[in-house]
Amino acid sequence: MNILILQGPNMNLLGLKSSQNTEKLTLAKLNKAIRLDLRSKNVNLKILQTHKEFQALNFLQRNRSWAEGLLLIPTSWARNNYNIYETLKVISLKTSIIYFSNPFSFGTNEKNSIINGKDIKSFTGNPIETCLEGLNSLLK
């Protein structure tokens, strides 16, 4: 199975955010945990972290035929980025949206998100466990 992982604005600062509590987690550690979990599951990944909307849109559009699922950590895009939301609706890719609970939250949650739909399922919690839960949902 081919899966895209799109990590939105400020995800590169996950380590800085997590340094404010006792659990140290960087984006590299999160991605390593994801790859480790998927190693024996015959899954191909393409991962992009970006702040730039046009790069995110290009990533989704260029890989829409290759991918069978999307794990999206939208951060602030979940509140106000209609371009990404519209692209998700058009490409109709099975999607898991990930929101982090405190102390890892970037301030966006499922309740204030514009991103929803029939092919979109939301997950909230600790970054590693929630990403793995979202990925396992895509694999079913």
Give counts: helices (H), strands (E), the chain.
6, 5
The Cα 59–Cα 106 span in angstroms is 22
Give pLDDT, residue 96: 98
Give pLDDT, residue 17: 78
Q: What is the pTM for the complete model shown?
A: 0.95
* Domains of the chain as residue ranges with CATH: 2-139 (3.40.50.9100)
Residues in the chain: 140
According to DSSP, the β-strands at 44-49 and 69-73 are unpaired
According to DSSP, the β-strands at 69-73 and 120-125 are unpaired
Q: Strand pairing partners for 3?
A: 45, 69
Give pLDDT, residue 101: 92
Residue with tokens 């400020």: 10
Residue with tokens 């301030």: 107
pLDDT means per 10 residues, the chain with 140 residues, are 97 84 87 95 96 97 98 96 95 96 90 92 97 96
